[in-house]
Structure 1
Amino acid sequence: MPADESKCVLDAYLSYRHRSVDLAASIVGCRAQAEDLVHDAFVKIALTHRPELEIRHPLAYFLQVVRRLAIDTMRQRNIRKTSDIADQGLEILLADPLTPELHTSGREELDAVEQALAALPARTRRAFEMKRFEGLKLREIAIALDISVVRASQLINDALLACQNVLDSADPRT
């Protein structure tokens, strides 16, 4: 990055840091995390900017990078949250039932989940199996299925959603 462009981005970072943190905090809901995101945005720009590209509006550019990093952080948080909920649901399903009624109910729910998984496209089902039953990481699944890590996560979330939908429709309390 030419010295004058790096100075413009640095000036935007220093002069509008508070505004940038406010923007990130409004998205992620945590001021401390927002501070980290603003710093990460500056580092990202400093390390990845190509000299042949001119930054005409350094403040707008910087705020856009902050905004995108904050949104990506929220997406990752939502993916982890969905996975945690699904893990809890599967643990409950696989727990040792205490009564014959619970055993029957649990068996019916497990059958419904098996049917939901069987109805999924093969790649979606395989990604889910690799994650839940084989314990592979998203990166390993992505490599095995020749897809991106984000797509692997989407496939797993699709499978989890299908399982959750079938359980919700079978639950008389909902």
Structure 2
Amino acid sequence: MFETCVVPRSCPLIDTLLLHRDALVSQVLPIVGGRAQAEDVVHELFLRLARRDSDAGVRQPLAFLHRAARNLAQDELRHERMVARHGERQSGLAPEHAPSAEHCSGERQALERVQQALAALPRDCRAAFEMHRLGGYTHREIAAALGISASMVDKHIRRALTACRDALRDE
């Protein structure tokens, strides 16, 4: 399935993923509960790796991939549970309690401002923030992956949070 995709550059992480794809699928299968969902998680991991600028700082590619696959699977499970919970609640809501188009538009604009603020950050700062807040990595794991100190990871995360907060204030 992944072998037909064209990746424009040599990418050790993608090469490792392709080599160990079956093991990654098997690892996330118990988390997501189905083979198709496990395949989807590993495919999403592949797509995210293909969009990365570089693999610099990843010293243990297989361990990195196993951790990333597990995190994506857990995120998928949390998302499904949230949709199920909110779907049940929203089905009983009266139309006047549904978010307005203006509210949704404002939320979309706020998200775009946050995305722009994160895109303007230096690569390591953005990577540390995303690994911590989205990937669930510890400061120590991020420091090892990026080749920086744990205190620098903390500074990067605080800088990114400040940029997000400032982007939301600027309306």
Q: Normalized against structure 2, the TM-score is what?
A: 0.49
Q: Normalized against structure 1, the TM-score is what?
A: 0.49
Over alpha carbons, which structure has the higher Rg? 1
